[in-house]
Amino acid sequence: MTTLRELGELGLLERLLPHLSAAGGDVLIAAGEDDTAAWRERDGSVTVATCDSFIEGVHFDLDWMPPDVAGWRACALSLADLAAKAAQPAYGLVALAAPASTEASVVEGVYAGLAACAREYGLRLLGGDTTATPGPLAISVFALGRATWEPLPRFAVEPGWTLGLTGPLGGEALALAERRPTRPRPRFGELAPGCVCGDVSDGLLRELVKFRTVAGVGARIESARVPVARGASLEQALTGGEEVELLCAWPGGPRPLTVIGAFTDDGRILVDGEEREGGYEHFG
Amino acid sequence: MTTLRELGELGLLERLLPHLSAAGGDVLIAAGEDDTAAWRERDGSVTVATCDSFIEGVHFDLDWMPPDVAGWRACALSLADLAAKAAQPAYGLVALAAPASTEASVVEGVYAGLAACAREYGLRLLGGDTTATPGPLAISVFALGRATWEPLPRFAVEPGWTLGLTGPLGGEALALAERRPTRPRPRFGELAPGCVCGDVSDGLLRELVKFRTVAGVGARIESARVPVARGASLEQALTGGEEVELLCAWPGGPRPLTVIGAFTDDGRILVDGEEREGGYEHFG
pLDDT at A33 over 80: no
Residues of chain B with pLDDT under 50: none
The percent helix, strand, coil of chain A (3-state, each to 5) is 30, 30, 40
Query: A187 and A83 in contact (C-beta within 8 Å)?
Result: yes
How many Å is the maximal CA-CA distance in chain A?
56
Query: Which DSSP symbol is given to A20?
Result: S
The count of other CB atoms within 10 Å of the CB of residue B92 is 31
**pLDDT value, residue B106:** 97
**pLDDT value, residue A108:** 97
Query: A179 and A240 in contact (C-beta within 8 Å)?
Result: no
Taking an 8 Å cut-off on Cβ atoms, the answer to whether B9 and A130 are in contact is yes
* Residues A214, B20: Cα–Cα separation, whole Å: 37
* Cβ neighbours of B131 in A, within 8 Å: 53, 55, 58-59, 282
**pLDDT value, residue A271:** 97
Average pLDDT estimate for A109-122: 98
Angle at B243 between CA B238 and CA B246, to 5 degrees: 85
Rg (CA), chain B: 18
* Residues B103, B96: Cα–Cα separation, whole Å: 14
Taking an 8 Å cut-off on Cβ atoms, the answer to whether B126 and A31 are in contact is yes
* Residues A217, A209: Cα–Cα separation, whole Å: 9
- Give A92→chain B minimum CA distance, Å: 9
Query: Which DSSP symbol is given to A193?
Result: T
Same CATH fold assignment for domains A4-147 and A154-275 = no
Taking an 8 Å cut-off on Cβ atoms, the answer to whether A135 and B133 are in contact is yes
Query: B51 and B142 in contact (C-beta within 8 Å)?
Result: yes
Taking an 8 Å cut-off on Cβ atoms, the answer to whether B142 and A142 are in contact is yes
**pLDDT value, residue B148:** 87
Q: How many helices (H) and strands (E) does chain A have?
A: 6, 13
**pLDDT value, residue A78:** 97
**pLDDT value, residue A254:** 83
For A34-82, write each residue's pLDDT tens digit.
889 999 998 899 999 999 999 999 999 999 999 999 999 999 999 999 9
* Residues A75, A147: Cα–Cα separation, whole Å: 18
* Residues A41, A47: Cα–Cα separation, whole Å: 7
Q: Which residue in B50, B51, B104 is closest to A7 by CB distance? A: B104
Residues 6+ apart with CB under 8 A from B115: A19, A20, B71, B125
Average pLDDT estimate for A190-218: 91
Query: B222 and B228 in contact (C-beta within 8 Å)?
Result: no
Average pLDDT estimate for A115-128: 96
**For A44, nearest residue in chain B (alpha carbons):** B43
Share of residues in chain A with pLDDT > 90 (%): 82
Taking an 8 Å cut-off on Cβ atoms, the answer to whether B127 and A31 are in contact is yes
Q: Which of B172, B144, B168, B152 is nearest to B251 (CA)?
A: B152
Tell me the average pLDDT of chain A: 94
**pLDDT value, residue B34:** 80
* Residues A183, A66: Cα–Cα separation, whole Å: 11
**pLDDT value, residue B138:** 98
Q: Which residue in B100, B112, B126 is closest to A21 by CB distance? A: B126
3-class state of residue B156 by DSSP: helix
**For B15, nearest residue in chain A (alpha carbons):** A108
- Beta-carbon contacts below 8 Å between A and B: 261
Q: Which of A226, A221, A215, A213 is nearest to A269 (CA)?
A: A221
* Residues B228, B241: Cα–Cα separation, whole Å: 13
Taking an 8 Å cut-off on Cβ atoms, the answer to whether B91 and A39 are in contact is yes
Find the helix or strand (DSSP H, E) in which B138 lies: strand B138-147
* Cβ neighbours of B55 in A, within 8 Å: 97, 131, 133-135
The count of other CB atoms within 10 Å of the CB of residue A277 is 14
Query: Which DSSP symbol is given to B101?
Result: T
Does domain A154-275 correspond to CATH entry 3.90.650.10? yes
Confidence of residue A89 (pLDDT cuts 50, 70, 90): very high
Fold of A4-147: 60s Ribosomal Protein L30; Chain: A; (3.30.1330)
Taking an 8 Å cut-off on Cβ atoms, the answer to whether B12 and A133 are in contact is no
Confidence of residue A282 (pLDDT cuts 50, 70, 90): confident
Tell me the average pLDDT of chain B: 94
3-class state of residue B191 by DSSP: coil
**For A112, nearest residue in chain B (alpha carbons):** B19
**pLDDT value, residue B93:** 97
pLDDT at A201 over 80: yes
Domain ranges (residues) in chain A: 4-147, 154-275
Average pLDDT estimate for A18-23: 90
